Amino acid sequence: MRPQVVAHRGASHEIAEHTLAAYVAALDNGADALECDIRLTADGHLVCVHDRTLRRTAASRGLVSTMDLAELNELDFATWKNPWADLDDEAPDRDESLDGVLTLRKLLETVADYGRRIEVAIETKHPTRYGGLVEKRLVEMLRDFGWHHAGAPVRVMSFSFTALQRVERLAPEVQLVQLVDKPSYWPMLRRVVGRDWVLGPGISLLRDHHRVVESMARRDRQLHVWVVNHESDLELCLRLGVRAVITDRPSHILDLLERRERPAG
């Protein structure tokens, strides 16, 4: 079975992460699903931003959690990716409406309106000053879309087991993904993760800790692996039966998969 190709923060290898431009590019390139990180603003909006600070992606000293959405809307979240674009006469014109902070609601609306089924993997970031309010607001939004039932095109991911427990209490049918980045965490997690939860190991675990990955994959448990950007890593995922590959380069990974499926000669 071909794994699902999930665009990590959009087509983030080429376009500034978490911008609507990056997600539209990923969709147009054929990605099966989108991945995003979410944080809560000071006035209660869920926005797609990875870091707690804005220094890297918006050249600001502010914190997402202490700023209102209106303040974030004043920032440029795209220039950092290609700061010399204005000097390139051959660079395509940018649609600046796609470069600002992206709310989760806008991303989900984009997915809902797209012409084919697209799934969304939503990662809640912790620790945060708002604690469980992040999951509460997330589930409220999923209910707005009618996406809190089994079979909905969303799943919630986190490195925080406690955060996933909150979602399970609030929306028992939503698919959950326990992210794992260190092999030392697995002996504890294996005792507590839900039987139907997906596991999300990093690609380095697959490369360097085979016994841990074999343990994770027992009982036909699904694996969703991040971040798979190179052919050798994709081949490893295919050998292990990984069900979803989360990648900064969805177009590249789709091309590699298509090439494998082409008849020889």
Catalytic residues: 8, 50
Query: Which residues, 6+ apart, have CB-to-CB distance to 59 below 8 Å?
Result: 75, 76, 79, 80
Query: Which residues, 6+ apart, have CB-to-CB distance to 184 below 8 Å?
Result: none
Distances (CA, A) of 138 to 97, 99, 208: 24, 23, 34
Where does 45-158 have alpha helices with state H?
A: 55-58, 69-72, 104-113, 133-145
- Cα separation, 221 vs 125, in Å, equals 24
- Determine contact, residues 53/80, Cβ cutoff 8 Å: no
Q: Give the residue from 132, 130, 123, 126 showing the smallest Cα distance to 17.
A: 123
Q: Give the residue from 102, 120, 180 showing the smallest Cα distance to 156.
A: 120
Query: Which residue type does 185 have?
Result: Y
- Determine contact, residues 75/54, Cβ cutoff 8 Å: yes
46 beta partners: 40
